[in-house]
Amino acid sequence: MRTRWPDGTQLVFMMFDLLHEDGVDLRGAPLGERKHDLNWLCRKADVPFMRQVETFLDGAALFAHVAEFGLEGVVLKRIDQPYVSGPTNTG
């Protein structure tokens, strides 16, 4: 993969989850394991990467920060659950 565009600007690729690796379907593994593998791959590739916040205990403060910085939203996932395709209803 090219890390710079022809005009010299740097390419930024954001990854949030690792669903397949070397032909192996990882969707059945808990999110925590998939994130661990993703972080390992980034370190192995020796590319700059930014870690996501793994947990955020104060939901009201989280949404206040999202609004303050003008972000579009938040994705919430349970760290101990497998990947589930499509919308889910957690009640």
Q: What is the pLDDT along the chain (91 residues), one digit of tens a residue?
A: 456 666 777 766 778 889 999 999 999 999 989 989 988 888 888 766 666 666 777 888 888 888 898 888 777 778 888 988 877 776 5
The tokens 């009640």 sit on which residue?
91
Please report the pLDDT score of residue 30 as a whole number.
95
Q: How many helices and strands in the chain, by DSSP H and E?
A: 2, 2
Please report the pLDDT score of residue 25 as a whole number.
96
Please report the pLDDT score of residue 58 as a whole number.
84
What residue ranges do the domains of the chain occupy?
A: 20-68
Please report the pLDDT score of residue 27 as a whole number.
95
Please report the pLDDT score of residue 5 as a whole number.
64
Please report the pLDDT score of residue 59 as a whole number.
80
- Cα separation, 71 vs 53, in Å, equals 15
